[in-house]
């Protein structure tokens, strides 16, 4: 997993299991823009290897205060 834990990012405030993978949000990442990490599921559990993260800029969405990942819906 890349990146550095920053105070106040709220990493883990939302989680979801999606197709055997785990999605974890940090809605206050990057000054409130938000981000989501997806950790691949493997036979023995979940791994940080080959995890990916993305935020509003990745999706060409508005960035300031987006709080991306503040809620998950199915």
Every domain of the chain and the residues it spans: 1-74
For the segment 11-18, the average pLDDT, to the nearest whole number, is 92
Residues in CB range of 58: below 8 A, 6 or more apart: none
For the segment 15-29, the average pLDDT, to the nearest whole number, is 93
Residue 3 is predicted with a pLDDT of: 63
Rounded CA gap, 59 and 29, in Å? 16
In which band, very low, low, confident or very high, does the pLDDT at 1 lie, cut at 50, 70 and 90?
low
For the segment 1-27, the average pLDDT, to the nearest whole number, is 86
Contact 58, 40 (CB under 8 A): no
pLDDT in tens, 34-58: 999 999 999 898 988 999 999 998 9
């Amino acid at each position: 997993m890349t990146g550095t834990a920053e105070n106040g990012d709220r990493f883990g405030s939302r989680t979801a299991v999606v197709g055997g993978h785990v999605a974890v949000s940090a809605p206050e990442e990057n000054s409130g823009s938000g981000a989501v990490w997806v950790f691949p599921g493997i036979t023995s559990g979940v791994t940080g290897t080959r995890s990916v993260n993305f935020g509003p800029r990745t999706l060409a969405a508005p960035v300031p205060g987006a709080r991306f990942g503040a809620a998950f819906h199915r």
